[in-house]
Amino acid sequence: MSRCMRGALAVLGAAWLSGCAVGPVNHFTLEVDLPAQFRFVGAANYRPARYQLCKLPQRRGKRPERKIIIADYKPVAGRVSYDLPLTETIEGCPTALRSVEFDFYAKWGARSTDVGGSLGGIYFTDPIESEDVAGVPASGVQELRGQCMWLFRTVGRAHTIRKLLRCRALDESGQRQKMLAGGVAQRALLPGKTLRLVLTLTDEEEPAFDRRWIAVPGGWKRCRGTSFEDLQGACDDDAPEFKPITMPDGRTCDVYPTCQ
């Protein structure tokens, strides 16, 4: 090979590498901080980008416009991380990431059935929709905070304790909101950045349904209702009567959770 040919190839190779280095970044890092004994099944959903007239077919099974992400149970709190494209051409149709949906699950007891679930989601906006949406800090990491708590109830004739999981978003001051855990992010600001959903679990527990429990020292008492067999067991505002409950370990108690 001549010296001129080798020189030309070197120049072309340098140009190709340079082009790769300065190409636009189209991905971001999604991180999720999970409490101990939590898992989730998530789906990153892509839809035709703004002003695109193409359509994706309706189908079941494998769907390239829906990327599944899964984090399994861990005995301690931890962080999982995923690299996701913000835009992608699927079957010739330019698409954009519109949402990441979560089904959260958590264990509250030792049995395989002692599991509660809740939903969450992150939604991605275009610039025209983003006037009231927070931007990415100088650190390059945008955090969305959420908090989960257990709601207790009784089931069956033995009035056995069962728990439901509820996860909600937190505002900047740490107050629980009505909206599901997650939030909204500006897609255009995320290339090369990190979006982190921080999920925590509070020690506080609340009744799953109103007017069935009365707060007492040490916890809560279950209202009797019209009879011991009354599964609804609403409280009498004037003179509530109570009935014993069955703890998950089989103990019969008058107060949850201290079993006084």
**Per-residue model confidence (pLDDT) at position 129:** 61
Give the angle subtended at the CA of 237 by the CAs of 163 and 226, to the nearest 5°: 70
Sorting pLDDT into bands at 50, 70 and 90, what band is 177? Answer: very high
Q: What gap in Å lies between CA 100 and CA 69, rounded to an integer? A: 9
DSSP per-residue string spanning 23-51: SPP-EEEEEEEE-TTEEEEEEEEEEEPTT
Sorting pLDDT into bands at 50, 70 and 90, what band is 178? Answer: very high
Pseudo-torsion of CA 50, 51, 57, 59, nearest 10°?
20
Find, among 104, 182, 196, the residue nearest to 150 by Cα: 104
Q: What is the pLDDT of residues 63-84, one digit of tens each?
A: 889 999 999 999 999 999 999 9
Q: What is the pLDDT of residues 159-171, one digit of tens each?
A: 999 999 999 999 9
